[in-house]
């Protein structure tokens, strides 16, 4: 069985086994990271200053999001930050829970993340395009999980609020076309460098009061965020930025030290292979390729989404997830994303071996 | 200002700077811990096998809790596991949220942890002794935070459920008198070894279905628990057990490698100093000393709670927290624990320096 249900970004492991890996090695002596506190003077008192520094350095390098004037918050993955944002934006005084919406197809985890505790503060309300009202929280995932599309908010109301989930707004997945500066922007080490197991995400938040409430959420939920995990993430992000700075200094060739260049080349290669397999099979279709000028790499490139949103054009196949499972390919059905059964989401960031088996298998399905 | 509001267990740092510290050093290469998954075959798929092994080893050494036949779950601190247990024990089909109770004085975080998301599944309902009904979740903290008392469930009903918070059931705080074998038992590295910043707790759970639901909570809340933090915790717990095993092998003297012996001696010393300061001042009182035979150290010892539950006997002082703040001692008022204003909770596990200043200051208050 080839499991592509989750976007486990293990494909970047090869990069971290390369020359840059050594500089990312973390050593923690037995007596370190013992206190709950990282920085008592900070609004986010459990934020490791070294992690914040590397977050700001990396965004300054890539130019994908503004950091000047923003508060940096750390979370146990961006899923905790997503819930923290819901908590911060909901009004505890309101009579009814605030509606949380996102344009279909939306990330399959948004509904359960919103509803699993049956909170009186917020409630999942489905497709943003079908929503009618002034009070809402709209989640904008861009590039979008599952279909890779570039998105903006579809609802406009003074009392409505937005959360921008930018987990995939990195050069390996999409051209960086703008330095975004939204009120709440969520990122995660998992999709940026591939370190999903470290469970570290961060938020860039403009408003101080919102940042305070989000920090309060992490305080209540888990009494802050593991320092060891933050130190690990700081090491890894630092190694990425260092890789570019040293490369520029040395003017050397190759991309063994350049995460985004390495990862983009790998992703582009995989998309090529997938498109070839889809053509060979003849019964599937993929979203159209999107291209743009990347301000980071200074060239025009196509996007290489972390997921393939694969549709089946064959009349008889009604439930594509089941059909692919019969062919030993495990995917996640479109129904989980607010879409139909004839489409599935497939991870493009698994290991080389798993990806190779998958495309070979897909190409032969008729 | 001497901040003793939180129980930040920094006093154990000295131990970890000693000879055993080196064996607890963690090294993580850049390419490790990348996947979300730790053990796909495990009910708790994000649990690092090495961490589980060290948890079982440590309990077998200390004899404070049964591990045979129990599922081990990992959480981002025991506060996440507490919420996971509420989630697992609440019935999503019930009309009203289930009442969560604990005997007064109860840990001040239980009410906000239960209520901060205004969940429809469970609701804080205060003192267990004042509760009337059959459906409830009773939280039993033993030794109890804030007052160090040894507790058992006070409610008895077939449909009621218990959560045992055993964060302080370690030899430095209390004699180990029984190998406990409750349905749900919560522990945390924070209070056991002093590594609060690592944010790792664990649960021993008897029932498979409850364990599955608790694991599901961690999956939804934070998509598992940081692997780096688990590896760190495994190193630290392993060093504790190794310290005892090597000591036994070498039959050497001293306690530099014996965490519980070292920590108990330090705690006993602090309690001596605190009792002397209370006597010198003359306006305070403390709970009576409790003693028992410890099956781990094989001797009769007094308990040394992680917190002092300090009462003021002076008529004019109505609000002890404010009174102590005027004397530059920051504590947490009894009102936060369901008790009155004439009592406060004081951390006994802060740094040597802070503790020294505190007792000197307390002794002079008249």
Is the minimum CB–CB distance between A330 and chain B shorter than 8 Å? no
Judgement on whether residues B194 and B286 belong to the same structural domain of the protein: no
User: Tens digits of per-residue pLDDT, A146-186?
Assistant: 999 999 999 999 999 999 999 999 999 999 999 999 999 99
Peptide bond into B273 cis (omega under 30): no
Domain end, chosen from B190, B214, B242, is at B242
Quickly list DSSP for A232-273. HHHHHHHHHHHHHHHHHHHT--SSTT-HHHHHHHHHHHHHHH
Statement to judge: residues A267 and A130 lie in one domain? no
Residue A1 lies in a domain: no
Inter-chain residue contact A229 with B228, CB threshold 8 Å: yes
Q: Are A58 and A170 in contact (CB under 8 A)?
A: no
Confidence tier at B5 by pLDDT (50, 70, 90): low
**Banded pLDDT at A91 (limits 50, 70, 90):** confident
Q: Do B348 and B331 contact (CB within 8 A), yes or no?
A: no
Give the Cβ contact number of residue B282 at 10 Å. Answer: 11
- Indicate whether A208 and A271 sit together in one domain: no
φ, ψ at A165 (rounded to 5°): -95, 105
Question: Which helix H or strand E contains B329, and what residues bound it?
Answer: strand B329-330
> Alpha-carbon distance B31 to B10, whole Å?
31
The domain boundary, picked from B195, B211, B242, lies at B242
Q: Is residue B338 left, alpha or beta, with left meaning phi > 0 and alpha meaning psi from -120 to 50?
A: left
Distance CA A34, CA B196 (A): 5
* Contact state of B198 with A6 under an 8 Å Cβ cutoff: no
**Looking at residue A22, what is its pLDDT?**
85
B42: left (phi over 0), alpha (psi -120 to 50) or beta: beta
Q: How confident is the model at residue B104 (pLDDT cuts 50, 70, 90)?
A: very high
pLDDT at residue A3 greater than cutoff 70: no
Number of domains in chain A: 2
Are the CB atoms for B90 and B122 separated by under 8 Å? yes
Contact A121, A73 (CB under 8 A): no
- Sign of the torsion angle spanned by Cα atoms B3, B6, B11, B17: negative
Distance of CA A71 to the CA centre of its chain: 19
| Distance, CA of B333 to CA of B217 (rounded, Å) | 32
The set of residues, in sequence order, having a beta carbon less than 8 Å from that of B189 and lying 6+ positions away, is B195, B196, B198, B200, B201, B233, B236, B237
Confidence at residue A252, expressed as pLDDT on a 0 to 100 scale: 55
In the DSSP assignment, the letter for residue B328 is: T
Check whether residue B162 and residue B295 sit in a common domain.
no
Please report residues of B whose CB lies closer than 8 A to that of A5.
none
A166 in the same domain as A54: yes
Q: Is residue B251 part of a domain?
A: no
CA distance A32 to chain B (A): 8
pLDDT tens, residue by residue, B38-53: 988 899 999 999 999 9
Can you tell me the distance from the alpha carbon of B357 to that of B1, in angstroms, rounded to the nearest whole number?
Answer: 10
Q: How confident is the model at residue A246 (pLDDT cuts 50, 70, 90)?
A: confident
Chain B partners within 8 Å of A116 (Cβ)? 87, 217, 220
In a shared domain, residues B90 and B163: yes
Last residue of a domain, one of B242, B276, B301: B242
**Smallest Cβ distance to A236: which of B30, B117, B226?**
B30
Query: Would residue A249 count as lying in a domain?
Result: no
For residues A267 and B263, give the distance between their C-alpha atoms in angstroms, rounded to a whole number: 53
**Cα separation values, A153 from A79, A80, A81, A150, B3, Å:** 20, 22, 19, 11, 45
pLDDT at A248 over 80: no
CATH of the domain at A229: 3.40.640.10
Give the distance, in angstroms, between the CA of residue A224 and the centroid of all CA atoms in the same chain. Answer: 21
CB contact under 8 A, A222 and B80: yes
> A79, B16: Cβ pair inside 8 Å?
no
Cα–Cα dist B217/B306, whole Å:
29
What is the pLDDT, as a whole number, of residue A28?
Answer: 95
The phi and psi torsions of A180 (rounded to 5 degrees) equal -75, 150
Q: What are phi and psi of B73, to 5 degrees?
A: -120, 145
Range of the domain at A270: 256-363
Inter-residue contact B92 to A93 (CB < 8 Å): no
Q: Is B21 on the interface with A (CB under 8 A)?
A: yes
In a domain, B1, yes or no: no
Confidence label for B11 from pLDDT (cuts 50, 70 and 90)? confident
Rounded mean pLDDT, B254-272: 92
Contact check, Cβ <8 Å, B76/A76: yes
The pair phi, psi for residue A58, each rounded to 5°, is -65, -45
User: For B108-143, how does the pLDDT look when each residue is reduced to its tens digit (9 = 90+)?
Assistant: 999 999 999 999 999 999 999 999 999 999 999 999
Distance between CA atoms of residues B15 and B23, nearest Å: 12
pLDDT at A253: 59
**Same domain for A198 and A278?**
no
Distance CA(A115)–CA(A101), nearest Å, equals: 12
| CB-based contact A103:A145 (threshold 8 Å) | no
For residue B179, the model assigns a pLDDT of 98
Handedness of CA A337, A343, A348, A349 (dihedral sign): positive
Residue with structure tokens 């990992």? B74
Q: φ and ψ at B257, to 5 degrees?
A: -105, 5
d(CA B118, CA B120): 7
Longest dimension (CA), chain B: 63
Contacting residues of B for A200, CB less than 8 Å apart: 226
Res B251 pLDDT > 60? no
CB contact under 8 A, B8 and A77: no
Q: What is the DSSP letter of B126?
A: E
Instruction: List the single residue in A35, A76, A118 with the smallest CB-CB distance to B197.
Output: A35
Spatial contact of B67 and B59, defined as CB atoms under 8 Å apart: yes
Question: In this predicted model, what pLDDT tens digit does every residue of A269-321 receive, in sequence order?
Answer: 999 999 999 999 999 999 999 999 999 999 999 999 999 999 999 999 999 99
Which pairing describes strands B329-330 and B307-312: parallel, antiparallel, or unpaired?
Answer: unpaired
8-state DSSP, A282: -
Contact check, Cβ <8 Å, A24/B29: yes
In a domain, B177, yes or no: yes
**pLDDT band at B248, cuts 50/70/90?**
low
Q: Which run of H or of E encompasses A138?
A: strand A136-141
**B147 with B184, same domain?**
yes
Interface test with B, best of A19, A28, A109, A353 (most B CBs within 10 A): A28
Give the chain B residue nearest A29 (alpha carbons). B25
Does any CB of chain B come closer than 8 Å to the CB of residue A20? yes
Looking at the structure, tell me whether residues A178 and A155 fall in a common domain: yes
| SS3 per-residue string spanning B102-116 | ECCCCCCCHHHHHHC
The token duo for A45 is 């008192």
Same domain, yes or no: B125 and B52 = yes
Do A143 and A302 contact (CB within 8 A), yes or no? no
CA quadruple B149, B153, B154, B160: dihedral positive or negative? Answer: positive
pLDDT value at A48 more than 90: yes
The answer to whether B233 and B51 are in contact (CB under 8 A) is yes
Decide if B20 is inside a domain.
no
Contact B72, B204 (CB under 8 A): yes
Q: By the CB < 8 Å criterion, does A10 face chain B?
A: yes
Q: For the CA atoms of A125, A130, A132, A134, what is the dihedral angle to 10 degrees?
A: 70
What burial class does residue A363 get, using C-beta atoms within 10 Å of its C-beta: 0-12 exposed, 13-18 middle, 19+ buried? middle
* Residue A93 reports pLDDT greater than 80: no
Residues B207, B260 share a domain: no
Per-residue model confidence as pLDDT tens digits over B142-159: 999 999 999 999 999 999
Q: What is the ipTM of this complex?
A: 0.94
Q: Is residue A7 part of a domain?
A: no
Residue A80: closest C-alpha in chain B: B222
Give the pLDDT confidence score for residue B177 in this predicted structure: 97
**What is the residue-wise DSSP string for B276-316?**
HHHHHH-SEE-PPP-EEEETTTTEEEE---SEEEEEE--TT
Q: Is the peptide bond before B6 cis (omega within 30 degrees of 0)?
A: no
Q: Is there a single domain that holds both residue A38 and residue A116?
A: yes
Per-residue pLDDT at A249 exceeds 60: no
Within a domain: A45: yes
């Amino acid at each position: 069985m080839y499991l592509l249900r989750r976007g486990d970004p293990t494909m970047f492991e090869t990069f971290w086994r390369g020359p840059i890996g050594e500089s990312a090695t973390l050593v923690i002596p037995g007596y370190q990271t013992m206190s709950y506190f990282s920085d008592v003077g900070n609004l986010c008192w459990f934020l490791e200053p070294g992690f914040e520094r590397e977050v700001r350095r990396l965004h300054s390098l890539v130019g994908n999001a503004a950091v000047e004037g923003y508060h940096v918050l750390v979370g146990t993955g961006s899923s905790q930050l997503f819930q923290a944002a819901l908590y911060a934006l909901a009004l505890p005084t309101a009579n009814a829970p605030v509606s949380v919406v996102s344009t279909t197809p939306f990330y399959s985890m948004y509904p359960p993340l919103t509803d699993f505790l049956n909170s009186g503060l917020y409630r999942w309300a489905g497709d943003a395009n079908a929503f009618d009202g002034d009070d809402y929280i709209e989640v904008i995932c861009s590039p979008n999980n599952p279909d890779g599309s570039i998105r903006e908010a579809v609802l406009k109301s003074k009392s409505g609020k937005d959360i921008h989930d930018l987990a995939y707004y990195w050069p390996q997945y999409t051209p960086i076309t703008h330095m975004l500066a939204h009120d709440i922007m969520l990122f995660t080490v998992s999709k940026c460098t591939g370190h999903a197991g470290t469970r570290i995400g961060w938020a860039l938040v403009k408003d101080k009061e919102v940042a305070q409430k989000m920090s309060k959420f992490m305080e209540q939920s888990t009494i802050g965020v593991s320092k060891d995990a933050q130190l690990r993430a700081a090491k890894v992000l630092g190694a990425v930025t260092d890789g570019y700075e040293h490369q520029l200094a040395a003017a050397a060739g190759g991309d063994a030290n350049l995460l985004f260049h390495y990862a983009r080349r790998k992703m582009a290669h995989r998309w090529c292979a997938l498109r070839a397999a889809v053509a060979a099979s003849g019964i599937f279709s993929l979203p159209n390729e999107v291209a743009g000028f990347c301000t980071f790499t200074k060239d025009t490139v196509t996007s290489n989404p972390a997921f393939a949103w694969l549709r089946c054009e064959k009349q008889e196949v009604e439930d594509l997830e089941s059909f692919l499972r019969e062919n030993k390919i495990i995917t996640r059905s479109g129904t989980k994303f607010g879409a139909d059964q004839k489409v599935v989401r497939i991870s493009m960031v698994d290991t080389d071996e798993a990806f190779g088996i998958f495309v070979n298998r897909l190409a032969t399905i008729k």
